A = this chain, B = another copy of it.
Amino acid sequence: MENTQNSARREILKIGALIGGTFALGGMLSPMNAATTQFKQPTRDNPLMLNYNENAYGYSQLARKAIERSLTKIPFYPHEAVDKLRTDIANFHQIKADKICLTNGSSAGIQSSIYAANKMAQELNLPIRIIIPNPTFEFIEEYARPLNIEVVKFNLDSEFNVDIDSMKRNEREFDGVSLVYLCNPNNPTSNIIGANDLYSWIRTAKTTTVFLIDEAYAEYVVSNLFKSGIDILKDSTKNVIVLRSFSKIFGLAGLRVGYIITTSELKRRIDEFLELESINVLGAIAASAAIKDFNFRQYCVNSNLKSKQIITKTLDSLDLKYAPSHANFIFHEITGQFDDFANNMKLQNILVGRQFTRYDNFCRVTLGTPDQMQYYTKVLKDFRKKRLI
């Protein structure tokens, strides 16, 4: 993956796998995390929220302490904290800071990338098209709509794989600027695009093609089949834009911090459309602290794998299909209609979803803590008894 820490992570996981099939915990949990992870019976007022892929383990104590120390910085524009975060991200990925755009959540990265590609097409006097898998994260379509950009969708195959061949063919045949959006791991399916497929496409793509690779969940991936766009950028000069987020494994969804890694040329184009002074000071300071907390992320990765084992075991026993999960959520069959299932879950004080096109009999569920997943799977089994699934 993208850095030495992640290589180290994979080593720990391998070692963990050796000792009796249980995972070695890379990090210790501090009191706040423990409180967050202690299982409480869901109620109507405090439901189990498995619907936004938020981090079930909260966020780094280092980030919390950094925020508490920084409340006096609030009246001031956050230039210093923002510059520091850019440097910290550059160090983390061992790249130059002039390849990084900070974004107000990775959502701003999607929006500004579309606008930049659109302007590129205007300058080249070429049409523009966005090519996406179906289903995928919906913001790409939301942001394309006001610009009236055509979005061409390619259905996932029966095993939930992104149909790279068809997308590639479309890109080849289109005489214009193609913005190829790949969410990797994909949302809602949580599966990954094979490194070889991805890399060979990018290497041979037209010069008017831009790859927008949304890696909001990349830090959860432990598979060797995954290759980050950041690594691809390191050894190619292709038009690749990688989006990363502090909302998922870093647990800072409320603070709206994400970033883009791309080429200097695309950074220049994207910066034109990014809001000036968009990063808030506490978000920047928290992100700088969180990126250094390897233990917290290691704990999240390992615990997430446990949760995945719990749910896949149940899904197997219930003979319900699911996409191979590589993030903190899983996309699984429910046999009936999504709305009915979500309503039934709500009656059990569990929020799931949301619904995605073409998969009305599937549900996206966030992987909570192992205890939470025990609870969820117990409800699933009850549903089977009641013939609700």
Contact = CB atoms under 8 A, between A and B. Distances in A.
A58 interface: yes
A272 B146 contact: yes
Interface stretch (A64-72, A126-134, A183-191, A305-313): A64-72
Contacts of A111: 275-276
A40 B8 CA distance: 48
Contact of A280 (B108, B251, B256, B272): B256
A107 B276 contact: yes
A75 B253 contact: yes
A281 interface: yes
A54 B75 contact: yes
A68 B72 CA distance: 12
A161 interface: no
B107 A104 contact: no
A350 interface: no
Contacts of A142: 276
Contacts of A63: 74
Nearest to A285: B254
Nearest to A78: B254
A330 interface: no
A142 to B, nearest CB: 6
A224 to B, nearest CB: 29
B74 A278 contact: no
B77 A54 contact: yes
Contact of A104 (B75, B104, B139, B253): B104
A283 B286 contact: no
Most B CB within 10 A of own CB, among A74, A104, A283: A74
A360 B124 CA distance: 40
A274 to B, nearest CB: 9
Q: Quick one: copies of this chain in the complex?
A: 2
B254 A139 contact: no
A119 interface: yes
A372 interface: no
A256 to B, nearest CB: 5
A340 interface: no
A107 B54 contact: no
A247 to B, nearest CB: 8
Contact of A55 (B36, B75, B78, B255): B75
A276 B109 CA distance: 11
A142 B108 CA distance: 18
B67 A251 contact: no
Contact of A283 (B247, B273, B280): B280
A76 B54 contact: yes
Interface in A130-189: 139, 142-143, 145-146
A74 B276 contact: no
Contacts of A52: 76-77
A376 interface: no
A58 B75 CA distance: 6
A60 to B, nearest CB: 10
A278 B108 contact: yes
Given A59-B74, A64-B71, A146-B119, A256 B277 contact: yes
Contact of A275 (B71, B104, B145): B104
Contacts of A272: 145-146
Nearest to A253: B77
13 contacts: A36-B75, A74-B251, A74-B255, A74-B286, A78-B253, A78-B254, A104-B275, A105-B277, A105-B278, A119-B146, A145-B272, A255-B280, A256-B278
Given A73-B254, A105-B275, 17 more contacts: A52-B76, A59-B74, A64-B74, A68-B68, A76-B253, A104-B104, A105-B278, A107-B277, A107-B278, A108-B278, A139-B276, A142-B276, A146-B272, A254-B281, A254-B282, A256-B279, A280-B283
